[in-house]
Structure 1
Amino acid sequence: MTAFTAPRGIPDYLPPESAALLTVRDTLAEAARRAGYGYVELPVFEDTALFARGVGESTDVVSKEMYTFTDRGGRSVTLRPEGTAGVMRAVIEHGLDRGQLPVKLYYTGQFFRYERPQAGRYRQLLQVGVEAIGVDDPALDAEVIAVADAGYRALGLTGYRLELTSLGDSTCRPEYRERLQEFLRALPLDEETRRRAEINPLRVLDDKRPEVRELLADAPLMVDHLSPECREHYEEVKEHLTGLGVKFTENPRLVRGLDYYTKTAFEFVHDGLGAQSGIGGGGRYDGLMAQLGGQELSGIGFGLGVDRTLLAARAEGLAVGDEARCEVYCVPLGQAAKRQLVRIAAALRGAGVRVDLAYGGKGLKGAMKAAGRSGARLAVVAGDRDLEQDEVQLKDLRDGSQRAVGRAELLTTVKEALAG
């Protein structure tokens, strides 16, 4: 029989690496919680039209990368490729936009894109995202960016940089769009790129092909054609970031991959990841809610790649997360001892200690090897003689020392040893 394997481009995370993945996810999410963002759990799939309208039909995400299928009811549904459209749908549907503003939400979960698998680019990716909806305030833009930066710093990352720009809005982008299209029409572009230039010329600036990037060297830049209002907004965002101690580099050629971005746009880049250097990014999307059937409210958010952030931590040699499965490993010597240690293990777990036990009748030597492989700090060993004396043997697996401990004092002794 042929063995099953994971779908191509979708990573498995197994212990001990999975512990590091969880630490990255939880650390990035904790930065959002500390800034007053509430958790939202999103559907894994939504109406296909939500993403086509919200993300943009001209984007690679919609035109090439979505996992779309027809369900048994004949409806076209899509595995979520990003989080913002789903959050906006939920805010509109449940009326959160009619309460206190801004609505500040964060989410975590898997997202799906049909891309060519390579290092750092997966077809199923884990993200942490935030959305702040309902207030157009440069200070809020800076807060969102600072939340992401705080999450990265809490992990110990240092080898990343923040790239920042402004993409303008409906008051200044149309004129810039015409200038850019005029420039692009004069270039020897292939037919597909020409079609893209007519639909959404800013997307052409995101082309990664060296030959195209060379042709775009003298292309007009949005940041040079901002309206006075957009210019003022951008300058205030930079001023707030400086006040918050968040370092940034202005990149006037930065173009986000989704159509809904306006004004502030940003990306966190880590050069230790090679070609797939982006570890997170986002921006403002002032027209998206109305486009999805809601009020004319602004918003700003980000999506941080947990998988890529973990790769960045590995590239910097950071030890992320407790990779040990447990803190205490119980080793019973005989059936009577096993019955007692099963209860002891349950009591320790109830007190918040991570505990495993040698199952399957392993001998002392095999059980102690299993204890070492578990990553536990301590081993609780008990045989018939220990039980007769109402005690167990507590072994420190780091230095090999061992001592007898009364069962009544075991919890206190274990916690003291783990804290030391």
Structure 2
Amino acid sequence: MLERVLPAEQDYEEYRVAAGPFDSTLPPVVEELKVEARRRGLWNLFLPDWSGISQLDYAGLAEVTGWSLHLAPEATNGQAPDTGNMELLHLFGTPAQQERWLEPLREGRIRSGFSMTEPDVASSDATNIETSIVRDGDEYVINGRKWWTSGAADPRCALLIVMGKTDPDAERHRQQSMVLVPTDTPGVTIVRDVPVFGRHDQHGHCEIRYDDVRVPVDHLLGGEGEGFALAQARLGPGRIHHCMRALGAAERALGLMVARASERVAFGRPLADQGVVHEQVAESRIAIDQARLLCRHAARTIDLHGNKAAASLVAEAKVAVPRVALEVIDRAIQVHGGAGVSDDVPLAAMYGWHRAMRIFDGPDEVHRRAIARTELRLAGR
């Protein structure tokens, strides 16, 4: 991170500025970092079956990559949504599906998208989705409209995992299925890349139309009616990984805050001598350390007892960690003054992404509801 990734950020940003906000090609410096990461053995660390390390081990590594969210996760092949998609293919894919899609994802040769969220329904409840997946002989026909399909704007994106309804009359959580859709399939239209607080991320967060899209029945992931269960299996580790990276962003913001306070003079003395800054630094350190312990507790529970046993802890982390990250980033912005809201420092971009994190992978309200239900059930209510 210190020797290669952070120094590469300027090259990354200069490439993106020169290419323009609607260009989704990967800055070449990231491919250079991928070669270096593989040389050092820092590759596919997110999946214990491949890396040989635990979720708790990975927590610290993921946090460090969160210091440079646009570069470090992809440099180590640990970027969303590919990690979650690789886990799905690893756990539920057929040998043919794994050969065609998992291996190139594992090697970092392609990217993928996870197409679940829809603009016309409240997708915080995945049973709401309206996209239809209808079997017609040896094919499935897909019709629907999705958005926030991250990764789909990248020209390397070769696969979309699409969730839709195969049986609207089935039990509520058995109506959905997932199918594997190559991005070049006729009827797949990437409508636009949706900006996050006015910013276009390199790989994009896309609105997509599926108009009579046909794929062979062997593109079904898992079985019919298993889509909701697969989504939950995918989101468990994915949520905690997001939280781990958010801790890294909070640490970087605190570091920037301390550096700025130490070098900036106001009213005759450094900002670091001001009592209000002392309070901001101290509260940030306390909050980060508390959030880290919660995150690691959740990761350790996954290691020992599995995703289901850790569900409530993961929900707690998903609420608490982005909240802490936003608080720390906001304090750092304030200490930086006008520079904090500019693009001369990364704080504004960091704030926008972590504010969005309170919505994606389930909004805070849904996670708080799940936490409360767990507590009430444990109390016999």
TM-score range, shorter chain: under 0.3
Tell me: higher relative CO, structure 1 or 2? Use CA pairs within 8 A at least 6 residues apart.
Answer: 1
- TM-score calculated relative to the size of structure 2: 0.26
Larger radius of gyration: 1
Greater share of helix residues, 1 or 2?
2
